[in-house]
């Protein structure tokens, strides 16, 4: 053992691990390459420096890291094999990972990083968060440097999230209790959530924000906030709306649905961000592959791309509509126009030809023009459309889609028992906050293309059904 209390090459821990070399060193500890003597397999040994090992608080934190990391069994999370004590030094034995960090991989590909690869990375990372948050376990320091890519640059890449040392398990016992005091900023500035920047209590939604920063960087080549100082970066996370990813993506095949997902993950309000499960749901809908399958029986799935624009007649328009059009905002006091002036019967019915999904539910559409293309796109995904000119849903509506509905009107509809999908301009935090307080199921960024509106509507319907049991 060295004079600093670190390990020396040739040291043997617990009669099992032979220290061979140093892999890296940080402020609190060092990581070594070792060999399991009996199994003759390489392992990574992480130690806590002696000056910290003698501190009860740091010792508790280190033991806790071993236990919480060992509790997470997932192919995209580093696996803990053992932990113990060597003299005054605490150590953890983990699987040895061969490969560069995600940061190095991103730099290797540069502008050639394809959406297909980005989508694969995003899905793997969202899935490991889904598993961690189910424990419940929060990472608290997600960043490209904490993600190792095994078999990098091949078709068999495996992303592995490491360093759960800053995580804590909610509702854990006193022995494993929360180690980071409120008021202390924990995390890396480029990827830290606003609530972390404030030193407030954080939970799984902070991981979603950090993951959104990583997704943003993969697609745009840079994180959402840069600055000449840590303070400037933290102020960006706290107060500045991120620049829309739509105009920054390096791969033109990146779909707008992925862009909207990332921007939702970067919401300033933790409760407004999607869960890891919802991130996975959306990633399925924006898959670069032809067929997107539902996650569970009975849930709707977007059809093959060739079937999304269903043609009912040779004259049907194949262009993509963009909302909002010049439609008046719906108010809670608006009266219903003459029934003879606006059709209130379903404008889409079950279709059984051409491979189109049969209608399984209906939505009300208010405050916008209902074009043939919109009817076709919804019908291709099993949803019929009913115009609701008065802004009030019908008894059988699974959802009311009213992009410019007044906040009070939205609250009234939600209180009456119908979920609402509403819209808000990027940066209009007052309206977004008001709609969220009103309890709307989904808020989309305006203007929105019809294809993205369909995806958001399907997601809102699924969320509503899950809440209803």
**12-95 and 102-284 have identical folds:** no
Q: What is the average per-residue pLDDT within 108-133?
A: 96
- Strands (E) in 295-380, as ranges, are 322-323, 361-365
Backbone φ and ψ for 418, nearest 5 degrees, come out as -110, 125
Backbone φ and ψ for 99, nearest 5 degrees, come out as 150, 165
* Closest among 58, 46, 52, 56 to 92, alpha carbons compared: 46
CATH of domain 301-467: 3.40.50.2300
CATH of domain 12-95: 3.30.200.20
Backbone φ and ψ for 313, nearest 5 degrees, come out as -150, 155
pLDDT of residue 218 exceeding 70: yes
Residues designated as active site: 141
Query: Is residue 405 within 8 Å of residue 367, measured between CB atoms?
Result: yes
User: CA-CA distance, 65 to 173, in Å (whole number)?
Assistant: 14
One-character DSSP codes across 351-367: --STTPPPP-EEEEE-S
Helix and strand totals (H; E) in the chain: 14, 17
Backbone φ and ψ for 435, nearest 5 degrees, come out as -65, -40
Query: Is residue 347 within 8 Å of residue 375, measured between CB atoms?
Result: yes
Q: What is the average per-residue pLDDT within 444-449?
A: 86
CATH of domain 102-284: 1.10.510.10
Q: Specify the pLDDT at position 322.
A: 53
pLDDT digits (tens, 9 = 90+) for 382-435: 888 888 888 899 988 999 999 999 999 999 999 999 999 999 987 787 888 789
Domain boundaries, the chain: 12-95, 102-284, 301-467
**Local confidence band at 376 (pLDDT 50, 70, 90 cut-offs):** confident
**Local confidence band at 324 (pLDDT 50, 70, 90 cut-offs):** low
The sign of the CA dihedral 321, 323, 326, 328 is positive
* Closest among 28, 37, 30, 27 to 2, alpha carbons compared: 30
Q: Specify the pLDDT at position 347.
A: 37
**Local confidence band at 321 (pLDDT 50, 70, 90 cut-offs):** low
pLDDT digits (tens, 9 = 90+) for 269-299: 999 999 999 999 999 888 887 443 333 333 3
Q: Which two tokens stand for residue 415?
A: 């209180």
Q: Which two tokens stand for residue 16?
A: 């099992």
Q: Three-state SS for 162?
A: coil
User: CA-CA distance, 384 to 348, in Å (whole number)?
Assistant: 5
**Local confidence band at 359 (pLDDT 50, 70, 90 cut-offs):** confident
pLDDT digits (tens, 9 = 90+) for 51-63: 777 888 877 877 7
Q: Specify the pLDDT at position 463.
A: 78
Q: Which two tokens stand for residue 243?
A: 């620049």
Q: Specify the pLDDT at position 374.
A: 78
pTM: predicted TM-score of the whole model, two decimal places: 0.61
């Amino acid at each position: 053992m060295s004079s600093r209390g670190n390990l020396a090459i040739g040291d043997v821990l617990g009669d099992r691990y032979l220290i061979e070399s140093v892999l890296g060193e940080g402020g609190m500890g060092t990581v070594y390459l070792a060999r399991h003597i009996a199994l003759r397999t390489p392992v990574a040994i992480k130690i806590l420096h002696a000056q910290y090992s003698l501190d009860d608080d740091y010792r508790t934190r280190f033991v806790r890291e071993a236990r919480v990391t060992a509790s997470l069994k997932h192919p995209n999370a580093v696996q803990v094999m053992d932990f113990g004590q060597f003299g005054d030094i605490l150590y953890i034995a983990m699987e040895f990972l061969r490969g560069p960090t995600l940061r190095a991989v991103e730099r290797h590909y540069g502008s050639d990083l394809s959406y297909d690869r980005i989508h694969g990375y995003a899905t793997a990372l969202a899935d490991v968060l889904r598993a961690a948050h189910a424990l419940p376990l929060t990472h608290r320091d997600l960043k490209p440097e904490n993600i190792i890519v095994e078999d990098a640059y091949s078709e068999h890449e495996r992303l592995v999230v490491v360093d759960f040392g800053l995580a804590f398990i909610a509702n854990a016992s006193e022995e494993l209790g929360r180690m980071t005091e409120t008021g202390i900023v924990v995390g890396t500035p480029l990827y830290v959530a606003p609530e972390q920047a404030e030193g407030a209590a954080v939970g799984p939604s902070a991981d979603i924000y950090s993951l959104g920063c990583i997704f943003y960087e993969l697609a745009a080549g840079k994180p959402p906030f840069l600055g000449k100082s840590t303070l400037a970066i933290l102020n960006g996370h706290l107060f500045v709306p991120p620049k829309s990813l739509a105009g920054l993506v390096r791969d033109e095949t990146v779909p707008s649905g992925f862009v909207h997902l990332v921007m939702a993950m970067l919401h300033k309000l933790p409760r407004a961000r999607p869960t890891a499960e919802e991130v996975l749901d959306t990633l399925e809908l924006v898959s670069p592959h032809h067929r997107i399958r539902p996650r569970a029986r009975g849930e709707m799935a977007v059809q093959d791309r060739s079937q999304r624009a269903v043609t009912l007649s040779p004259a049907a328009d194949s262009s993509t509509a963009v909302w909002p059009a010049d439609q008046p905002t719906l108010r809670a006091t608006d009266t219903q126009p003459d029934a003879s002036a606006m059709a209130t019967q379903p404008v889409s019915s079950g279709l059984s030809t051409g491979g189109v999904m049969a209608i399984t539910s209906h939505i009300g559409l208010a405050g916008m023009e209902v074009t043939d293309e919109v009817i076709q796109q919804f019908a291709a995904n099993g949803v019929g459309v009913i115009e609701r000119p008065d802004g009030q849903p019908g008894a059988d509506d699974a959802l009311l889609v009213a992009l410019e509905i007044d906040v009070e009107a939205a609250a009234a509809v939600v209180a009456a028992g119908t979920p609402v999908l509403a819209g808000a301009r990027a940066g209009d935090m007052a309206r977004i906050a008001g709609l969220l307080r009103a309890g709307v199921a989904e808020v989309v960024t305006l203007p929105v293309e019809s294809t993205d509106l369909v995806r958001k509507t399907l997601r809102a319907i699924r969320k509503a059904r899950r809440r209803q049991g």
